[in-house]
C-alpha cells in the first residue's frame, strides 16, 4: 500500500568560515560570534557562501524518519499549490504558499552554542527570521511522491520555485512563505529593460547641436561606440563617447522629435534592437533578470520550434523607456503568437508557437481514459475573434503606437462568421506593434491568420482527471472524445486540445486543464521520405498527418478539405 507524501526544502546561505578565525575578517569576543548568516555577519567582504537546507512537512503520522523533516505545517490547508497555466504571453505562475507554526526547539543551528555568554532562548522561527531575514529570492523546492515500504525517494519528483515573500503573524507567530516558479523573476521592478541610467547633461543641448555634449555621473552603462541616448522623447545617436564626452551626433533617431534639452537633463541609454530573431530577443530579456541563467533556457528546443513556426519573426526597434521584463515579454509573445511557461521539475523556461500540430496524436476516450468519466466543459466565448487589424512600422518610435503613427496598416476578416446567419457580430482584436519592421508584412499577417482560424468559434476549455499512467505535460496535444460534443449527424465528437495546466492532486491522479487547439482549416505538413507517394494509396494516419499535391484547388475526393496556409 502506498500514499502520496509532500515536503518542502528551503536553502539559506551560510558562511563556511569560523567566526573570528582564519580568513574571517571579523574579530568578536568569544561568546559574541555571529551565526554565520548574512544578516548577522560583520564582515560580508569575506563571507564564504555555502547553503544549509531546511525541510518542512505537514504534521502527520508516518513521516519518514529518513528525511529529517520539521513538521511545522499544522494542517493540509496550510499548504497550497497552484499549477502554472500557459497561454499566449507568459501565462500565470505556478505558486506555493506555506504557513509554518512556531515552536520551541533546541538551537542546533548555532555553531558556537557551547561558548555563548547567554543560553539559547526564543523559538525556532523567531531565531530563523532574525538570522535569515533575506529569504526572498532564495530557492524553495516542493518534493512529492509515493511512500513505499521499504522507503525510497526513487519515485519522488522535485519542483523548483523562488521565494517571493515572507510574513509573520503577531498573533501566533506563524510564518507564511510564498514562492513562485522562475518566471516570477520577470516581475521584479528592479529588472527594467533597458536598465535605467542617471548621467546628466552638464550644459544645455540646443536643437542644432550635432558635434557633441558632455555628461556628468556614471557613464559606464553607455556604449563606447555607436550608441543611442534619449533625452525626454528625442533619441540621439552618437559615434563614440569617452569619459562622458559624446561626439558626432545624429538627431531625431527613429522619427523622434528634435528638441532643446536643458542642463541636468537625464540621458537614458537606449537599446537598438536591430533585426534580432524573436527567440534571441526573448532570451536576452530573460537573462537580464537576476537569477535566470542560460541553464534555465533550453535554447536548442526553442530553435527547433522557431525553425518550424517562427522562421521570419524578427524584432526591430529602439527601447528608450525602461519597462518591466514581464511587460516587454508579454507584448513580444502576444505579437508573435508565442507561449512561455516554466517546467518546475526541470526548472527551465519552455517556448511554443501558437500553431497547428499534425493530426495524428494521442486520443483520450471518456469512458476508458478519464477518471469517473467526468469532464467539465466550458465554452470561452470571450476569446472568439472574427476580425483582426494591425499597424506597425511607427513614424515616431517615441509616440503612442496607433494607426495614425504607423506607416503600415492591414486587417483580416472572417466574413462568414460575421454573417447575420452565423454569429452576426464583430469580435475585434488589434495588434499595434513597435517591434515589426516595415519590410516584413508577413510576420503579423501570419500571427493574425493563426489566431483567426483558431478562434473563429469560441475555444473550448476542458478540465478532467487522469491517472499517472496517462501522464501529460503542458503543451501536449491530444484528441478528446466526449459525449457532450457531437457532430451534426449526432455521432460522437472529437476536440483537438492542448494542455495548459497540470496539477498532481495527490491521490494518484493528475488534474488536466486544456483548451481547444483545432484550426478552422486543414493545415499541410511535410512528410518523411518513406511516406506514401500518392493520396489514393496513403493510410488514414498518413492522410491526417502529411500533405499531398493536387492538380487544382478542389477538396479531396473523399471529402477532406483542401489545405490552407497558416
Nearest to 52 by CA among 66, 65, 70: 70
pLDDT at 549: 61
Nearest to residue 261, comparing CAs of 221, 220, 202, 217?
202
- Model pLDDT for residues 219-275, shown as the tens digit of each residue: 999 999 999 999 999 999 999 999 999 999 999 999 999 999 999 999 999 999 999
Find, among 185, 84, 96, 140, the residue nearest to 501 by Cα: 84
- Kindly provide the b/e burial profile for residues 400-430, where b requires at least 16 CB atoms within 10 angstroms of the residue's own CB: ebeeebbebeeebebeebeeeeebeeebebe
Rounded Cα gap, residues 150 and 314, in angstroms: 55
d(CA 437, CA 315): 7
Question: Residue 267 burial by CB count (10 A; 0-12/13-18/19+): exposed, middle or buried?
Answer: buried
Section 41-61 average pLDDT: 93
pTM > 0.75: yes
The chain-wide mean pLDDT, for the chain, equals: 88
Give me the pLDDT at residue 108, please: 85
pLDDT exceeds 70 at position 350: yes
Strands (E), 16-138: 49-58, 70-73, 79-82, 95-100
Q: What percent of the residues of the chain are helix, what percent strand, and what percent coil, each to the nearest 5?
A: 20, 35, 45
What is the pLDDT, as a whole number, of residue 562? 54
The pLDDT score that the predictor gives to residue 548 is: 59
| pLDDT given for residue 1 in this prediction | 44
Tell which residue, 310, 319, 312, 309, has the closest CA to residue 285.
Answer: 319
Backbone torsions φ then ψ of 393, nearest 5 degrees? 60, 70
Q: What are phi and psi of 96, to 5 degrees?
A: -130, 135
Compute the residue count for the chain. 566
Per-residue model confidence as pLDDT tens digits over 498-553: 999 999 887 778 999 999 887 655 555 555 666 666 766 777 666 655 565 666 65
Q: Which residues contact 106 (CB under 8 A, 6 or more apart)?
A: 120
The predicted structure's pLDDT at residue 488? 81
Question: Taking a C-beta distance cutoff of 8 angstroms, is the pair 380, 459 a contact?
Answer: yes
CA triple 6-12-16, angle to 5 deg: 135
**Phi, psi (deg, nearest 5) at residue 128:** -60, -45
CA nearest to 351, candidates 162, 88, 158: 88
299-309 vs 278-287: helix crossing angle, rounded to 10: 150
**Which pLDDT value is given to residue 71?**
93
Element (H, E) at 282: helix 278-287
Percent of the chain with pLDDT over 90: 58
pLDDT tens across 554-564, in order? 666 665 555 55
Amino acid at each position: 500500500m502506498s500514499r502520496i507524501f509532500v515536503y518542502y526544502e528551503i536553502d539559506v546561505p551560510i558562511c563556511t568560515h569560523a567566526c573570528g578565525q582564519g580568513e574571517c575578517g571579523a574579530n568578536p569576543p568569544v561568546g559574541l560570534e555571529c551565526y554565520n548568516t548574512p544578516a548577522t555577519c560583520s564582515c560580508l567582504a569575506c563571507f564564504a557562501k555555502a547553503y544549509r537546507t531546511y525541510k518542512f512537512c505537514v504534521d502527520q503520522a508516518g513521516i519518514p524518519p529518513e528525511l529529517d523533516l520539521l513538521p511545522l505545517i499544522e494542517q493540509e490547508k496550510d499548504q497550497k499549490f497552484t499549477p502554472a497555466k500557459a497561454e499566449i504571453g507568459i501565462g500565470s505562475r505556478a505558486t506555493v504558499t506555506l504557513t509554518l507554526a512556531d515552536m520551541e526547539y533546541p538551537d542546533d543551528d548555532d555553531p558556537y552554542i557551547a561558548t555563548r555568554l547567554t543560553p539559547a532562548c526564543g523559538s525556532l522561527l523567531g531565531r530563523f527570521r532574525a538570522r535569515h531575514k533575506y529569504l526572498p529570492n532564495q530557492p524553495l523546492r516542493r518534493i512529492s511522491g509515493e511512500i513505499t515500504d521499504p522507503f525510497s525517494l526513487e519515485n519522488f519528483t522535485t519542483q523548483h520555485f523562488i521565494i517571493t515573500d515572507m510574513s509573520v503573524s503577531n498573533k501566533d507567530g506563524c510564518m507564511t512563505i510564498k514562492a513562485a516558479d522562475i518566471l516570477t523573476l520577470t516581475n521584479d521592478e528592479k529588472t527594467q529593460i533597458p536598465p535605467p541610467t542617471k548621467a546628466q547633461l552638464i550644459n544645455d543641448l540646443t536643437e542644432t547641436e550635432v558635434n557633441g555634449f558632455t555628461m556628468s555621473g556614471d557613464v559606464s552603462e553607455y556604449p563606447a561606440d555607436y550608441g543611442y541616448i534619449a533625452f525626454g522623447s528625442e533619441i540621439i545617436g552618437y559615434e563614440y563617447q569617452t569619459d562622458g564626452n559624446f561626439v558626432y551626433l545624429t538627431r531625431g533617431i527613429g522619427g523622434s522629435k528634435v528638441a532643446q534639452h536643458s542642463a541636468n537633463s537625464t540621458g537614458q541609454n537606449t537599446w537598438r534592437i536591430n533585426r534580432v530573431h524573436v527567440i534571441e530577443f526573448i532570451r536576452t530579456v530573460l537573462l537580464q533578470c537576476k537569477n535566470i541563467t542560460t541553464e534555465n533556457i533550453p535554447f536548442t528546443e526553442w530553435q527547433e520550434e522557431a525553425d518550424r513556426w517562427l522562421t521570419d519573426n524578427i524584432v526591430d526597434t529602439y527601447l528608450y523607456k525602461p519597462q518591466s521584463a514581464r511587460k516587454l515579454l508579454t507584448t513580444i509573445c502576444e505579437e508573435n503568437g508565442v507561449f512561455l511557461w516554466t517546467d518546475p521539475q526541470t526548472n527551465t523556461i519552455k517556448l511554443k508557437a501558437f500553431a497547428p500540430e499534425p493530426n495524428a496524436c494521442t486520443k483520450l476516450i471518456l469512458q476508458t481514459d478519464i477518471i469517473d468519466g467526468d469532464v467539465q466543459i466550458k465554452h470561452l466565448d470571450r476569446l472568439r475573434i472574427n476580425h483582426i487589424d494591425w499597424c506597425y512600422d511607427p513614424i515616431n518610435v517615441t509616440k503612442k503606437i496607433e494607426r495614425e503613427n504607423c506607416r503600415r496598416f492591414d486587417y483580416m476578416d472572417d466574413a462568414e462568421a460575421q454573417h447575420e446567419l452565423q454569429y452576426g457580430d464583430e469580435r475585434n482584436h488589434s495588434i499595434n506593434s513597435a517591434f515589426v519592421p516595415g519590410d516584413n508584412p508577413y510576420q503579423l499577417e501570419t500571427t493574425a491568420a493563426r489566431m483567426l482560424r483558431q478562434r473563429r468559434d469560441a475555444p473550448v476549455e476542458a478540465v478532467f482527471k487522469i491517472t499517472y499512467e496517462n501522464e501529460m505535460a503542458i503543451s501536449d496535444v491530444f484528441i478528446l472524445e466526449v459525449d457532450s460534443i457531437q457532430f451534426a449527424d449526432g455521432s460522437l465528437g472529437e476536440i483537438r486540445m492542448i494542455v495548459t495546466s497540470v496539477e498532481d492532486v495527490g491521490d494518484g491522479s493528475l488534474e488536466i486543464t486544456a483548451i481547444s487547439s483545432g484550426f478552422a482549416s486543414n493545415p499541410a505538413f511535410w512528410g518523411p521520405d518513406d511516406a506514401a507517394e500518392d493520396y489514393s494509396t496513403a493510410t488514414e494516419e498518413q492522410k491526417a498527418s502529411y500533405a499531398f499535391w493536387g492538380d487544382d484547388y478542389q477538396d479531396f475526393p473523399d471529402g477532406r478539405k483542401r489545405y490552407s496556409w497558416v
